Copies of this chain bind each other. A is one copy, B any other.
Amino acid sequence: MDAKSYPSATEGEDRRVRIREVGPRDGFQNEPETIPTSDKVRLINALGRAGVERIEVASFVRPDVIPQLSDGVEVLHRIELPPTVARMVLVPNRKGLENALRERAYFDEAALFVSASQTHNKRNVNRTVEETMADVRGMGPRIVAEGVRLCAVIATSFGCPFEGEVPMGRVLDLAEQFAEAGAVEIGFGDTTGMCNPAYAGRFFATAIERLPGVEITAHFHNTRGQGLANAYAALEAGCRSFESSFGELGGCPVPKGSTGNIATEDLVSMFHEMGIDTGLDLGGLIDAAREAQETLGRRLTSHSIVAGPVIWSPGERAGA
Protein backbone atom coordinates (compact mmCIF):
# COMPACT_ATOMS: atom_id res chain seq x y z
CA MET A 1 0.00 0.00 0.00
CA ASP A 2 1.37 3.35 -0.99
CA ALA A 3 0.04 6.32 0.95
CA LYS A 4 1.17 8.49 -1.94
CA SER A 5 -1.67 7.39 -4.17
CA TYR A 6 -3.95 9.37 -1.84
CA PRO A 7 -4.52 13.03 -2.63
CA SER A 8 -2.17 15.42 -0.87
CA ALA A 9 -3.80 17.21 2.05
CA THR A 10 -2.17 20.40 0.91
CA GLU A 11 -3.58 20.31 -2.60
CA GLY A 12 -7.28 19.58 -2.34
CA GLU A 13 -10.26 21.25 -0.72
CA ASP A 14 -10.23 18.98 2.29
CA ARG A 15 -8.08 21.29 4.41
CA ARG A 16 -9.88 21.11 7.75
CA VAL A 17 -8.69 18.94 10.63
CA ARG A 18 -10.21 18.28 14.05
CA ILE A 19 -7.94 18.33 17.08
CA ARG A 20 -8.77 16.98 20.51
CA GLU A 21 -6.85 18.52 23.38
CA VAL A 22 -5.90 15.73 25.80
CA GLY A 23 -3.65 17.67 28.20
CA PRO A 24 -6.25 18.04 30.98
CA ARG A 25 -6.54 14.25 31.28
CA ASP A 26 -3.52 12.59 29.65
CA GLY A 27 -1.18 15.44 30.63
CA PHE A 28 -2.37 16.27 34.16
CA GLN A 29 -2.49 12.55 34.99
CA ASN A 30 1.24 12.23 34.41
CA GLU A 31 2.31 15.13 36.60
CA PRO A 32 4.28 13.96 39.63
CA GLU A 33 2.41 16.47 41.85
CA THR A 34 -1.38 16.69 41.70
CA ILE A 35 -2.39 20.02 40.18
CA PRO A 36 -4.88 22.00 42.34
CA THR A 37 -8.42 21.90 40.97
CA SER A 38 -8.60 25.68 40.58
CA ASP A 39 -5.46 25.62 38.40
CA LYS A 40 -6.91 22.85 36.25
CA VAL A 41 -10.14 24.79 35.77
CA ARG A 42 -8.27 27.98 34.90
CA LEU A 43 -6.08 26.20 32.31
CA ILE A 44 -9.02 24.35 30.74
CA ASN A 45 -10.95 27.62 30.46
CA ALA A 46 -7.92 29.20 28.75
CA LEU A 47 -7.96 26.34 26.24
CA GLY A 48 -11.63 27.00 25.61
CA ARG A 49 -10.86 30.66 24.88
CA ALA A 50 -8.18 29.53 22.38
CA GLY A 51 -10.88 27.82 20.34
CA VAL A 52 -10.45 24.21 21.43
CA GLU A 53 -13.37 22.24 19.94
CA ARG A 54 -12.78 18.88 21.59
CA ILE A 55 -11.20 18.27 24.94
CA GLU A 56 -10.56 15.28 27.18
CA VAL A 57 -11.31 16.63 30.65
CA ALA A 58 -11.55 13.74 33.09
CA SER A 59 -11.13 10.05 33.69
CA PHE A 60 -13.36 7.88 35.86
CA VAL A 61 -10.49 5.87 37.27
CA ARG A 62 -10.16 4.89 40.91
CA PRO A 63 -8.80 7.87 42.86
CA ASP A 64 -6.42 5.64 44.81
CA VAL A 65 -4.89 4.44 41.52
CA ILE A 66 -4.56 7.88 39.89
CA PRO A 67 -4.87 10.53 42.60
CA GLN A 68 -3.86 13.23 40.08
CA LEU A 69 -7.37 12.94 38.56
CA SER A 70 -9.39 12.30 41.73
CA ASP A 71 -11.08 15.72 41.36
CA GLY A 72 -12.48 14.81 37.94
CA VAL A 73 -16.12 15.39 38.84
CA GLU A 74 -15.37 18.75 40.42
CA VAL A 75 -13.41 19.76 37.29
CA LEU A 76 -16.37 18.73 35.10
CA HIS A 77 -18.72 20.82 37.23
CA ARG A 78 -16.56 23.92 37.43
CA ILE A 79 -15.11 24.41 33.95
CA GLU A 80 -16.71 27.03 31.74
CA LEU A 81 -16.45 26.07 28.08
CA PRO A 82 -18.50 27.29 25.13
CA PRO A 83 -21.47 24.94 24.55
CA THR A 84 -20.03 23.87 21.20
CA VAL A 85 -16.97 22.27 22.81
CA ALA A 86 -17.15 18.47 22.96
CA ARG A 87 -16.09 17.35 26.45
CA MET A 88 -14.73 13.82 26.60
CA VAL A 89 -14.28 11.53 29.59
CA LEU A 90 -12.24 8.36 29.78
CA VAL A 91 -14.06 5.27 31.06
CA PRO A 92 -11.68 2.52 32.20
CA ASN A 93 -14.21 -0.12 33.33
CA ARG A 94 -17.79 -0.91 34.35
CA LYS A 95 -17.45 0.74 37.74
CA GLY A 96 -16.09 3.87 36.04
CA LEU A 97 -19.02 3.81 33.64
CA GLU A 98 -21.55 3.82 36.51
CA ASN A 99 -19.77 6.78 38.07
CA ALA A 100 -19.58 8.57 34.72
CA LEU A 101 -23.26 8.14 33.91
CA ARG A 102 -24.16 9.87 37.17
CA GLU A 103 -22.47 12.94 35.66
CA ARG A 104 -24.06 12.47 32.25
CA ALA A 105 -24.99 16.14 31.89
CA TYR A 106 -21.37 17.22 32.07
CA PHE A 107 -19.83 15.50 29.07
CA ASP A 108 -20.53 14.71 25.42
CA GLU A 109 -18.14 11.91 24.51
CA ALA A 110 -16.85 8.85 26.35
CA ALA A 111 -13.76 6.85 25.43
CA LEU A 112 -13.19 3.16 26.07
CA PHE A 113 -9.70 1.80 25.61
CA VAL A 114 -7.58 -1.29 25.19
CA SER A 115 -3.96 -1.93 24.41
CA ALA A 116 -3.33 -3.89 21.22
CA SER A 117 -0.41 -5.58 22.95
CA GLN A 118 -1.38 -8.35 25.35
CA THR A 119 1.53 -7.63 27.69
CA HIS A 120 0.87 -3.89 27.75
CA ASN A 121 -2.86 -4.39 28.43
CA LYS A 122 -2.06 -6.76 31.30
CA ARG A 123 0.38 -4.28 32.83
CA ASN A 124 -1.95 -1.33 32.29
CA VAL A 125 -5.31 -2.71 33.47
CA ASN A 126 -4.44 -6.22 34.69
CA ARG A 127 -6.72 -7.90 32.16
CA THR A 128 -6.23 -9.78 28.92
CA VAL A 129 -7.16 -8.04 25.68
CA GLU A 130 -10.03 -10.50 25.33
CA GLU A 131 -11.37 -9.69 28.81
CA THR A 132 -11.23 -5.97 28.05
CA MET A 133 -12.99 -6.40 24.72
CA ALA A 134 -15.75 -8.49 26.37
CA ASP A 135 -16.36 -5.54 28.69
CA VAL A 136 -16.38 -3.20 25.70
CA ARG A 137 -19.17 -5.22 24.11
CA GLY A 138 -21.19 -4.73 27.28
CA MET A 139 -20.39 -1.07 27.94
CA GLY A 140 -20.48 0.25 24.37
CA PRO A 141 -24.24 -0.12 23.71
CA ARG A 142 -24.99 1.21 27.21
CA ILE A 143 -23.04 4.40 26.45
CA VAL A 144 -24.66 4.79 23.05
CA ALA A 145 -28.11 4.31 24.59
CA GLU A 146 -27.41 7.28 26.88
CA GLY A 147 -26.89 9.47 23.82
CA VAL A 148 -23.17 9.79 24.48
CA ARG A 149 -20.84 9.78 21.49
CA LEU A 150 -18.77 6.61 21.86
CA CYS A 151 -15.06 6.79 21.08
CA ALA A 152 -12.35 4.19 21.42
CA VAL A 153 -8.61 4.33 21.95
CA ILE A 154 -6.23 1.53 20.99
CA ALA A 155 -2.91 1.94 22.79
CA THR A 156 0.41 0.55 21.46
CA SER A 157 -1.08 0.54 17.95
CA PHE A 158 2.35 1.04 16.37
CA GLY A 159 4.56 -1.09 18.56
CA CYS A 160 4.91 -2.27 22.14
CA PRO A 161 7.97 -1.74 24.32
CA PHE A 162 7.51 -5.24 25.73
CA GLU A 163 6.40 -7.23 22.68
CA GLY A 164 7.99 -5.24 19.85
CA GLU A 165 6.03 -5.20 16.63
CA VAL A 166 2.23 -5.12 16.85
CA PRO A 167 0.72 -6.38 13.57
CA MET A 168 -1.50 -3.89 11.74
CA GLY A 169 -4.14 -6.58 11.21
CA ARG A 170 -4.44 -7.18 14.94
CA VAL A 171 -4.96 -3.46 15.61
CA LEU A 172 -7.57 -3.08 12.89
CA ASP A 173 -9.44 -6.19 14.08
CA LEU A 174 -9.76 -4.55 17.50
CA ALA A 175 -10.92 -1.36 15.79
CA GLU A 176 -13.67 -3.29 14.02
CA GLN A 177 -14.76 -4.81 17.33
CA PHE A 178 -15.03 -1.31 18.80
CA ALA A 179 -17.06 -0.14 15.80
CA GLU A 180 -19.41 -3.12 16.25
CA ALA A 181 -19.85 -2.08 19.90
CA GLY A 182 -20.99 1.36 18.71
CA ALA A 183 -17.81 3.45 18.52
CA VAL A 184 -18.04 6.18 15.87
CA GLU A 185 -14.47 7.34 16.40
CA ILE A 186 -11.35 5.25 16.96
CA GLY A 187 -8.03 6.69 18.04
CA PHE A 188 -4.78 4.87 17.45
CA GLY A 189 -2.15 5.61 20.08
CA ASP A 190 1.62 5.50 19.64
CA THR A 191 2.02 4.98 23.37
CA THR A 192 5.80 4.80 23.48
CA GLY A 193 6.70 6.60 20.25
CA MET A 194 7.52 3.61 18.06
CA CYS A 195 5.80 4.74 14.87
CA ASN A 196 7.64 6.18 11.87
CA PRO A 197 6.16 8.28 9.06
CA ALA A 198 6.36 5.57 6.39
CA TYR A 199 4.39 3.19 8.58
CA ALA A 200 2.00 5.96 9.69
CA GLY A 201 1.14 6.65 6.04
CA ARG A 202 0.44 3.00 5.28
CA PHE A 203 -1.44 2.47 8.54
CA PHE A 204 -3.85 5.39 8.24
CA ALA A 205 -4.53 4.79 4.56
CA THR A 206 -5.46 1.21 5.43
CA ALA A 207 -7.48 2.11 8.53
CA ILE A 208 -9.54 4.70 6.63
CA GLU A 209 -10.25 2.13 3.93
CA ARG A 210 -11.20 -0.63 6.37
CA LEU A 211 -13.40 1.46 8.66
CA PRO A 212 -15.77 3.47 6.47
CA GLY A 213 -17.98 5.88 8.39
CA VAL A 214 -15.76 5.76 11.46
CA GLU A 215 -13.72 8.83 12.40
CA ILE A 216 -10.07 7.76 12.46
CA THR A 217 -7.94 9.67 14.97
CA ALA A 218 -4.14 9.77 15.20
CA HIS A 219 -2.56 10.05 18.62
CA PHE A 220 1.21 10.30 18.27
CA HIS A 221 3.92 10.70 20.87
CA ASN A 222 7.12 12.63 20.36
CA THR A 223 9.28 10.11 22.20
CA ARG A 224 11.90 9.97 19.44
CA GLY A 225 11.18 13.38 17.92
CA GLN A 226 9.09 11.94 15.08
CA GLY A 227 5.67 12.99 16.38
CA LEU A 228 5.01 15.75 13.85
CA ALA A 229 6.55 13.74 11.00
CA ASN A 230 4.06 10.98 11.79
CA ALA A 231 1.20 13.48 11.98
CA TYR A 232 2.18 14.89 8.58
CA ALA A 233 2.31 11.39 7.07
CA ALA A 234 -1.09 10.51 8.57
CA LEU A 235 -2.54 13.76 7.21
CA GLU A 236 -1.18 12.95 3.76
CA ALA A 237 -2.78 9.50 4.01
CA GLY A 238 -6.17 11.09 4.59
CA CYS A 239 -6.40 11.32 8.39
CA ARG A 240 -8.25 14.46 9.53
CA SER A 241 -8.50 13.92 13.28
CA PHE A 242 -5.67 14.27 15.78
CA GLU A 243 -5.06 14.25 19.51
CA SER A 244 -2.34 16.30 21.19
CA SER A 245 -1.51 17.96 24.47
CA PHE A 246 -0.83 21.63 25.15
CA GLY A 247 2.67 22.32 26.45
CA GLU A 248 3.62 18.78 25.34
CA LEU A 249 2.28 17.70 28.74
CA GLY A 250 2.09 14.01 29.46
CA GLY A 251 5.13 11.88 29.88
CA CYS A 252 5.37 8.17 29.54
CA PRO A 253 7.15 5.85 31.94
CA VAL A 254 8.65 3.88 29.04
CA PRO A 255 11.35 4.68 27.98
CA LYS A 256 12.18 6.30 31.31
CA GLY A 257 12.30 10.09 31.20
CA SER A 258 11.01 10.41 27.67
CA THR A 259 8.43 12.92 26.48
CA GLY A 260 4.92 11.79 25.63
CA ASN A 261 2.26 13.51 23.56
CA ILE A 262 3.00 15.89 20.73
CA ALA A 263 2.40 19.53 21.69
CA THR A 264 -0.91 20.90 20.42
CA GLU A 265 0.66 24.29 19.65
CA ASP A 266 3.46 22.65 17.61
CA LEU A 267 0.91 20.57 15.67
CA VAL A 268 -1.30 23.59 15.06
CA SER A 269 1.71 25.68 14.04
CA MET A 270 2.68 23.06 11.44
CA PHE A 271 -0.87 22.72 10.11
CA HIS A 272 -1.44 26.48 9.88
CA GLU A 273 1.87 27.00 8.08
CA MET A 274 0.76 24.30 5.62
CA GLY A 275 -2.54 26.09 5.06
CA ILE A 276 -4.54 23.50 6.98
CA ASP A 277 -7.39 24.89 9.05
CA THR A 278 -7.69 23.78 12.69
CA GLY A 279 -10.24 26.25 14.05
CA LEU A 280 -7.76 27.08 16.82
CA ASP A 281 -6.13 30.37 17.72
CA LEU A 282 -2.39 29.59 17.79
CA GLY A 283 -1.51 32.66 19.84
CA GLY A 284 -4.10 31.82 22.48
CA LEU A 285 -2.94 28.22 22.55
CA ILE A 286 0.68 29.24 23.12
CA ASP A 287 -0.49 31.57 25.90
CA ALA A 288 -2.34 28.66 27.54
CA ALA A 289 0.73 26.42 27.26
CA ARG A 290 2.93 29.16 28.76
CA GLU A 291 0.40 29.52 31.57
CA ALA A 292 0.66 25.76 32.19
CA GLN A 293 4.45 26.08 32.26
CA GLU A 294 4.21 28.83 34.86
CA THR A 295 1.64 26.92 36.91
CA LEU A 296 3.77 23.76 36.94
CA GLY A 297 6.96 25.70 37.60
CA ARG A 298 9.17 23.76 35.24
CA ARG A 299 10.34 24.13 31.65
CA LEU A 300 7.96 22.28 29.31
CA THR A 301 9.30 20.65 26.12
CA SER A 302 6.93 22.32 23.63
CA HIS A 303 8.86 24.13 20.90
CA SER A 304 6.32 26.86 20.18
CA ILE A 305 6.38 28.00 23.81
CA VAL A 306 9.90 29.25 23.07
CA ALA A 307 9.88 29.98 19.34
CA GLY A 308 6.36 31.35 18.93
CA PRO A 309 4.55 31.18 15.60
CA VAL A 310 6.26 31.95 12.29
CA ILE A 311 5.69 35.55 11.43
CA TRP A 312 3.47 35.19 8.41
CA SER A 313 -0.26 34.58 8.73
CA PRO A 314 -1.78 31.11 8.51
CA GLY A 315 -2.00 29.84 4.96
CA GLU A 316 0.02 32.65 3.41
CA ARG A 317 3.02 30.43 2.76
CA ALA A 318 1.16 27.35 1.59
CA GLY A 319 -0.25 29.32 -1.32
CA ALA A 320 3.13 30.78 -2.29
The residues of A with any CB-CB pair to B shorter than 8 Å are: 2-4, 7-11, 159, 161, 164-165, 167-168, 193-194, 196-199, 201, 222-229, 231-233, 236, 255-259, 262-263, 266, 269-270, 273-275, 302-304, 306-308, 310-312, 316-318, 320
Given A225-B304, A258-B303: 12 more A-B contacts, CB < 8 Å: A4-B8, A4-B236, A8-B198, A165-B312, A165-B316, A199-B273, A222-B225, A225-B262, A225-B266, A225-B303, A255-B306, A259-B303
The interface residues of chain B lying within 8 Å CB-to-CB of A258 are 303, 306-307
Of chain B, the residue at the smallest CB distance from A3 is: B8
- Bound CA span A222–B232, Å: 15
Task: Judge whether B306 and A198 touch: CB under 8 Å.
Answer: no
Chain A contact residues, majority secondary structure: loop
The interface residues of chain B lying within 8 Å CB-to-CB of A262 are 225
The interface residues of chain B lying within 8 Å CB-to-CB of A227 are 225
The interface residues of chain B lying within 8 Å CB-to-CB of A311 are 161, 164
Residue in B161, B228, B256, B310 whose beta carbon sits within 8 Å of that of A225 in the complex: B228
The interface residues of chain B lying within 8 Å CB-to-CB of A9 are 198
- Bound CA span A256–B222, Å: 23
Task: Judge whether B10 and A318 touch: CB under 8 Å.
Answer: no
Task: Judge whether B318 and A198 touch: CB under 8 Å.
Answer: yes
Task: Judge whether B320 and A167 touch: CB under 8 Å.
Answer: yes
Task: Judge whether A196 and B317 touch: CB under 8 Å.
Answer: yes
- Bound CA span A310–B258, Å: 13
Residue in B168, B224, B231 whose beta carbon sits within 8 Å of that of A266 in the complex: B224
